[in-house]
Amino acid sequence: MVSQIVKIQGMMDPHVHLRGMDWSHKGTFASETAAALAGGYTAVLDMPNTPPPTVNRAALNRKLDEIGRQAYCDWGVFFGASQEDNVAEFDRAFVHVCGMKVYADATTGTLLVNDPVLLEKLYSTWPDGKPVAFHAEGETIETVLKLVRRYRKPVHFCHISTAEEINLLMTAKEARLPVTVGVTPHHLFLTEDDARVLGPKGLMKPGLKSKGDQRALWLAIDWGIVDVIESDHAPHTLQEKASANPPYGVPGLETTLPLLGLAVQQERLSLDRLVALVATNPRRIFGVPSNAGTYTVVDLASQYVIAPGICARRAAGRRSRGWRGGPGAGSVDSRAEGLRRRKHSRPRRVRRESVRLDSIGSSKWRT
């Protein structure tokens, strides 16, 4: 087959759960940023809910220290809004993070903020200049949109998964509210029918939805309502997934680009749109410029099967047979200045080249 090589500049996944710290048995900042590079991503933004949750100075410092020492790719971290009202921490935290994450739905512990008065206080107090990312589902999206109408602070809605939610956000965009929309590859490629087969391995939040919802997500991509495809990479061990209380979350950093490459091959997605969804848009939303010398090489004509045991992460084999990646995905080779011709199976050599993305405009690879 004749190869069809394209270069995608500056792939950034703005929604990952890299683990490390108290959950280092699931993955480390080293293993998960290596997975990012193996999947084509040269930058990732890490969510705040790995214990200890990133809701205060001590937890933020611990994460910054650990990720700073371990990361193989560029990175940023979110600060977490807390139900214990942590606005007093905002000013100090702001300069070190890429934005704030608010869990207005579907989480446990101190990160769940479902008191509308506190929600308004947290959102309205967060300093201007870095977005607020929301986990909000169904009617909670309307609650958040009311706040956006009042305060006009940019909000990124994470992992939107239903037709109803797309309709709400389409209307919000028509009204020119400062909102952006992310969807995940698992909601684009799997449905609740797959969830029944996958069992705990298909367990994530938001859960897999109907075929109609899946169609709505693809239409929303066509119509330009979706701004970002975010992996929501959230690895667990196979033992945990097989336990009586399996945790929510699936890995995704290494499968997102191959799956989207498959969609390009099948002409469900244009290459231009793919680049916007995985690179240009997330960088615009979070104010992170890309470096012309940092790019991912993709052969759009190539095909391979996403098989168990090929991942770069710590617990090999977590890409189980249950994760139907789809045969025929485009192969991926990620490269960047300083990374060229270095194998990601041995990423230790590039450790010192990772750059923190906490200050807008300062991101660049050191070579």
Beta bridge partners of 180: 156
Phi and psi at residue 205, to the nearest 5°: -120, 130
* 105: contact with Zn ion by CB under 5 A: no
Q: Which is nearer to Zn ion, 100 or 275 (CB)?
A: 100
Minimum CB separation of residue 5 from Zn ion in Å reads 32
CA distance 362 to 289: 8
Pick the piece of the chain touching Zn ion (CB under 5 A) from 22-30, 94-102, 175-183, 224-232.
224-232
Cβ distance to Zn ion smaller for residue 160 or 298: 160
In angstroms, give the least distance from the CB of 304 to Zn ion.
Answer: 27
Find the residue with minimal CB distance to Zn ion. Answer: 232
Q: How far is the CB of 327 from Zn ion (least distance, A)?
A: 27
Segment contacting Zn ion by CB under 5 A, of 88-96, 196-204, 228-236, 331-339: 228-236
What phi and psi values does residue 46 have, to the nearest 5 degrees?
-100, 135
Binding-site string for Zn ion from residue 173 to residue 212, where x marks contact by CB under 5 A and - marks none: ----------------------------------------
Q: How many residues bind Zn ion (CB under 5 A)?
A: 1
What's the min distance (Å) between Cβ of 59 and Zn ion? 17
- Please name the helix (run of DSSP H) or strand (run of DSSP E) that holds residue 130, with its range, or none: none
Residues from 261 through 300 that contact Zn ion (CB under 5 A)? none
Q: Residue 194 and residue 13: Cα distance in Å, rounded? A: 25
In the bound complex, what is the minimum distance in angstroms from residue 249's beta carbon to Zn ion?
7
By CB under 5 A, name the one of 232, 251, 253, 335 that touches Zn ion: 232
Name the amino acid, one letter, at 165. E
- In terms of CB distance, is 227 or 232 closer to Zn ion? 232
Q: Cβ atoms within 10 A of the Cβ of 275, count? A: 19
Tell the smallest beta-carbon distance from residue 161 to Zn ion (Å): 12
Nearer to Zn ion, 74 or 232 (CB): 232
Distances (CA, A) of 148 to 28, 44, 295: 35, 26, 35
Chain position carrying tokens 């579907």? 106
Nearest distance from C-beta of residue 91 to Zn ion, angstroms: 26
H-type helices in 161-255, by residue range?
A: 163-174, 185-189, 192-198, 211-222, 238-241
Question: 246 vs 199, 238, 239, CA distance in Å?
Answer: 10, 9, 9
Within the chain, strands assigned E span: 5-9, 12-16, 43-46, 74-80, 99-103, 132-135, 155-157, 179-183, 228-229, 294-304, 329-336
- Please, which residue, 101 or 344, has the CB nearer to Zn ion? 101
Applying CB under 5 A, the residues found at the interface with Zn ion are: 232
